[in-house]
Structure 1
């Protein structure tokens, strides 16, 4: 174990993906069910997450949190692969969005995030500033969540009346 990751398993996974690139293609199935008010229960396999309401992250906060969590994963994974011993990764972030359209106040602007501004703070025992800069730059090129947000993935909605 290094940085809380099983290095042997990580390297085995990378080798397997290189030998069989089709295994990199993942179909993720998630369900969501209204729990009353502004709350939803989101399920993926045997894992559940409550979103919305006063006690939980809002859907927008969950999106924002997913971005930051993915950035941390990218940095930690690549630090581990490079033998860089991390002491801390901390991200401060602000995302701006306008809820006018959600509440039918106005049709402009779009109701999603307009931008994210964040700062990554990283501390490692055995890395140069250049190595840490390189790790953080991977967030711009290797983060699946950041790529999803930036590329405006098509959403195909179907509905059924029960």
Structure 2
């Protein structure tokens, strides 16, 4: 199979076959380490990637992520906010999922754009209203796909696949156990 949308379809098929054969290869752990920078800012670096129980240290410290809050939310406005990182995580995962599935189906993309918005109600975070969750109240995603050879129905099916298979979307809608402990 060729490379479609800059994505190696053969490698995808080989990965599916390998994980089907040896399921532990599909078990992946990402890590970051964060350090407070004063105010509401944190600087994090990527940790080692673990796949199938094998630690790959090549990503450790390779990438830096910084966050802060906007001035309107009492931050220093020196970096992307954690809420924007949630949107970026979903945008990134939607992109991986859409591009890989489009390529696997032979759908060539000319252009692909996303618009994401997340609504928060600060009365939960600030402890003003215990009935209000401090997290995202609603998250909206608009997907704009330009694929001249694909029908509207094919693109709608592709977006459904993205909703079904995106790990980050699944994490957001399903909820996940988060364990926090003091070192």
CA–CA distance in structure 2, aligned partners of residues 9 and 96 of structure 1: 38
**Aligned counterpart, 2:172:** 149
Q: Quote the offset at 1:75 in angstroms.
A: 0.8
Report which stretch shifted further, 35-44 or 101-110. Answer: 101-110
Gaps of 5+ in 1: none
Q: Quote the offset at 1:101 in angstroms.
A: 3.3
| Moved segments of 4+, more than 6 Å | none
Aligned residue-pair number: 160
Q: After superposition, what is the alpha-carbon deviation per residue over 1:105-154, rounded to whole angstroms, capped at 9, x for unaligned?
A: 33331110011122211111321111111111112210100110111111
**TM-score where L is the length of structure 2:** 0.80
Of residues 121, 126, 137, the one that matches 1:98 is: 121
CA–CA distance in structure 1, aligned partners of residues 110 and 77 of structure 2: 33
Equivalent residues in 2 for 1:75-154 (5 A)? 75-154=98-177
Secondary structure of the residue that 2:28 maps to in structure 1? Answer: coil
Higher relative contact order, structure no. (Cα contacts within 8 Å, ≥ 6 residues apart): 1
Gaps of 5+ in 2: 47-59, 69-75
Tell me the C-alpha RMSD between the 2 structures: 1.6
**Aligned counterpart, 2:27:** 25
**TM-score where L is the length of structure 1:** 0.90
1:50 and 2:52 matched: no
